Structure 1
Amino acid sequence: MSAQFAQSPGWLDWYRNPSRPRFALPPGTVDAHCHVFGPGGEFPFAPERKYTPGDAGKRQLFALRDHLGVSRNVIVQATCHGADNSAMVDAVQASAGRARGIATVRPDVTDAELRRLDEAGVRGVRFNFLKRLVSAAPRDELVTIAKKIAPLGWHVVLYFESADLADLATFFGTLPTPLVVDHLGRPDVTKPVGGSEFGRFLQFVHDNDVWVKVSCPERLSVTGPPALDGEQHAYRDAVPFGRAVVEQFGDRVLWGTDWPHPNLTGHMPDDGLLVDYLPQVAVTPEQQHKLLVTNPMRLYWPGEDA
């Protein structure tokens, strides 16, 4: 990497030697949330970025896909690339039909550009409300974007903190597209799963056309991954939250690795262990197949066989 793109201080690189999962993913599994970073020499990072990652390109992503036993990917535009979707689109187009994309666009995006992205395999846009990642999320501009993408049948991916949902839920409900929520809406897992805060999230999902990614326990957990003694019950404090969503909204849940795990500071997860986490939240084979195959295929590859 050039000096121009020196990593942010303290940046944690992705886990280089992930374990082989004990849990065998069903054929056709979709990793519905992952990213590519650069390589910076080919796809420069955005000047306005809040962080500078290490390179993590399509070659490494596809190698992880094959190692874990995943069949397809949904590649979400990373904030470090801003609204330049070149790296994401390049990865989607290199997948031979085995990837879809989620873009970041600005309100002045043209219909021609949206059609180009659609033809390349993009199926939605992401609205980020985390203040540490974006400077602002002006609602009128987001409504403009949502109205432009609605005729394409795209959806909006939402990333927010659970404590902010009370202020955002009404706005989200006005958007003219299906909604996909990242990482369980980032609940505070130190609070009860039956408490008012997570209850508000479940009610929001119930009342709207919302899909939920049962992903990123490593971002939510306080107990963390297991010790190096063979203990397999990783991120156990996040389990009740994921299980509640899978049980209540089994036809609208998705899963993703979040590789290469941007902006983690505590530890870098073993992606094989993240696969082994899945049977804790999707307990039955039927739940697992819906979460990993049926639902993401219906949303991203409608009409195609897994």
Structure 2
Amino acid sequence: MKCDSHIHIYARAFLKPGDAQVFVENADVDAYRKVQARIGTERAVIVTPRVYGTDNAVTVDAIRQLGIDNARGVAVLNPDVTDAELDALDKGGIRGIRFTLYTAKNAAVGFDMVEPLARRVAELGWHVQLHWTAEQIVEHEALLQRLPATMVFDHRARLPLQDGVRHAAFDIVRDLADAGRAWIKLSGPYLDSAAGLDGAYADIAPMARAWVQAVPERLVWGSDWPHVTEKHKPDDVFLLDLLAEWADDEATREHILVTNPAVLYGFAI
């Protein structure tokens, strides 16, 4: 069963007063089911969007609607989360926590929270998902080496176009993946592309192929639906088709879409 390993769900029922200005319409579970039907995936990993801060109710509810056998979630938490809350989230299908720190503007958490929270969630078998810039990965290499939890690097580890795989972050993340401590998401090509949608994000392909060549057994794919950052939304079928350009053999794509996410997120194989 194929897995879309990075999506966001938005539902007005879980909004707090003042949050509506960054709310995304037509991005609830029913809308995503239509995406699944188009791209042929059966499993999904829902990542709590920043509009909800550290309230993960929308994600747990989406897992319930999609069915815990085929859905998992990644939460956003502060260190004051209680053990009882962690247990409830675990029962609800949460399998990781995200640190979106690539820009202070979008950060609901801080670098000082990474290690203490990683130690707590490691006991549950969860991972820490890191949306960091490549420069931040290099700056915090010592922290990464200390973390007891598995790491998942968002959006190809955000390698910059001008450096690509020559950036020091590539070797850091690859070594962690080789050691069985890290995974990389092949997602969000538009986040770092200068070619853009009109250019089919072609300038991202060399970096994506480099990850496929280096650590194919430690990669998962995500659509990043509903593409919140993009004024002109890419077609999700097109985004999945890009994977065939990055990984040109069916066996590797099967690992990225089926086997790898099953291992990472605890789906039945």
State the AA in 1 paired with 2:81.
V
CA distance in structure 2 between the partners assigned to 1:35 and 1:272 by the alignment: 17
Trace 1:114-193 onto structure 2 (pairs within 5 A): 114-130=86-102, 131-134=104-107, 137-139=110-112, 141-193=113-165
Q: Could you tell which deviates more after superposition, 210-219 or 128-137? A: 128-137
Residue aligned with 1:75, SS: strand
Distance 1:136 1:272, change over 3 A: same
Q: Which residue of 2 aligns with 1:281?
A: 246
Q: Which residue of 1 aligns with 2:31?
A: 60
Task: Assess if the C-alpha contact under 8 Å between 1:49 and 1:79 holds in 2.
Answer: no
Residue aligned with 1:157, SS: strand
Task: Assess if the C-alpha contact under 8 Å between 2:6 and 2:222 holds in 1.
Answer: yes
So what's the TM-score if we normalise by structure 1? 0.81
Instruction: For residue 205 of structure 1, report the CA deviation from its aligned partner.
Output: 4.0
Measured against aligned partners, the alpha-carbon deviations of 1:257-298 in whole angstroms (never above 9, x if no partner) come to: 000112235x32111110111111111111101111010011
Query: Identity of counterpart residues, as a percentage?
Result: 32
CA distance in structure 2 between the partners assigned to 1:142 and 1:113 by the alignment: 18
CA distance in structure 2 between the partners assigned to 1:56 and 1:95 by the alignment: 14
CA distance in structure 2 between the partners assigned to 1:69 and 1:214 by the alignment: 17
Instruction: For residue 53 of structure 1, report the CA deviation from its aligned partner.
Output: 3.1
Do residues 35 (structure 1) and 1 (structure 2) align?
A: no
Trace 1:48-127 onto structure 2 (pairs within 5 A): 51-96=22-67, 97-127=69-99
Residue aligned with 1:84, SS: coil
Residue aligned with 1:132, SS: helix
CA distance in structure 1 between the partners assigned to 2:163 and 2:120 by the alignment: 38
So what's the TM-score if we normalise by structure 2? 0.91
Residue aligned with 2:196, SS: coil
Q: Which residue of 2 aligns with 1:202?
A: 174
Q: Which residue of 2 aligns with 1:12?
A: none
Asked which structure has the greater RCO (Cα within 8 Å, sep 6+), the reply is: 1
Q: Which residue of 2 aligns with 1:236?
A: 202
Measured against aligned partners, the alpha-carbon deviations of 1:42-66 in whole angstroms (never above 9, x if no partner) come to: 1105757994433511111122112
Q: Which runs of 5+ in 1 are unaligned?
A: 1-27, 228-233
CA distance in structure 1 between the partners assigned to 2:18 and 2:147 by the alignment: 29
Q: Which residue of 2 aligns with 1:249?
A: 215
Higher helix fraction (1 or 2):
2
State the AA in 2 paired with 1:299.
L
Instruction: For residue 223 of structure 1, report the CA deviation from its aligned partner.
Output: 1.1
CA distance in structure 2 between the partners assigned to 1:196 and 1:156 by the alignment: 21
CA distance in structure 1 between the partners assigned to 2:47 and 2:173 by the alignment: 23
The structure with the largest alpha-carbon Rg is 1
Instruction: For residue 127 of structure 1, report the CA deviation from its aligned partner.
Output: 1.1
Q: Which runs of 5+ in 2 are unaligned?
A: none
Residue aligned with 1:152, SS: coil
CA distance in structure 2 between the partners assigned to 1:62 and 1:35 by the alignment: 13
Aligned residues: 267
Task: Assess if the C-alpha contact under 8 Å between 1:75 and 1:102 holds in 2.
Answer: yes
Measured against aligned partners, the alpha-carbon deviations of 1:87-144 in whole angstroms (never above 9, x if no partner) come to: 11100011122210111111111111111111111111111112231165141x3222
Residue aligned with 1:269, SS: coil
Task: Assess if the C-alpha contact under 8 Å between 1:79 and 1:133 holds in 2.
Answer: yes
CA distance in structure 2 between the partners assigned to 1:46 and 1:147 by the alignment: 33
